[in-house]
Amino acid sequence: MRLRNIPRAESVLANTPDVMQDPTLYKGSWQKEIFQNDHPVAIEVGMGKGQFLLTLASQRPDINYVGIEQYSSVLLRAVERLDAQRKDRAVVFPNLRLTRLNARTLPDVFAPGEVEKIYINFPDPWPKARYAKRRLTSKDYLTRYDQVLIPGGEIEVKTDQKDLFDFSKEQVMATSSFTVTAATSDLHHDPVLSAGNIQTEYEEKFSAQHQPIYKLVIRKM
Ligand code: SAH
């Protein structure tokens, strides 16, 4: 997701306590310093405007969530949504923090084993082979996820792109540290995997166009 540059985005984000300005400062101490509890930490990479993560965080106060997005203008939309939900629904979101970050640097932000689960929803498909490394499920990214995940930790991927779904499965199977534990090429008609499904912005858009949604659950061995 890329939005027109919003000039005030940087200054708003810099003055929002929910947004971690330098997340590398908390490597190894997210639970203790930031959330001040011992609940598991889950992250969403490429959270977009935050619809999925805000819903999830409000449903699961027993999990700490960190939302990661690379673009300020997009993260600003998530911050605005957070503010609106605090006002309209009186949800407090003590278990949620956001940060502007390129997922390439995840190992600078989380210590080994600090993350229990990673969500990747509708990542940019980068269809051209020469950009395959940029796909968020490429082996380069899987290596980074491996560095921060707890053994037995999971990655959940949703996409509308069959090619990206197939590519992701192949990349997982080519590693020795991850295995695919569940997969569907029609999430919304899969009685098991659709249970409790929270739709993302992109998911609503694609399913309204009757496109099937693919989902992959990957476990770190
Ligand atoms: N998850 C949302 C948005 C999907 S678009 C939804 O399902 O509706 C993909 C998002 O991932 C974009 O907002 C893009 O900026 C972000 N993104 C892509 N590569 C990234 C990276 N390396 N690090 C952080 N965010 C990234």
pLDDT for res 7: 83
pLDDT given for residue 88 in this prediction? 86
| For the CA of 202, the nearest atom of ligand 1 | 8
Residue 92: strand pairing partners: none
Residue nearest ligand 1's atom 11 by CA: 46
pLDDT score at 6: 86
pLDDT score of 5: 84
Q: Residues 73-95, buried b or exposed e (16+ Cβ, 10 A)?
A: bbbbbbbeebeebeeeeebebeb
Q: Is 0.75 topped by the overall pTM?
A: yes
Q: pLDDT below 70 — which residues of the chain?
A: none
Distance CA 27, CA 52 (A): 25
Which residues are known catalytic residues? 124
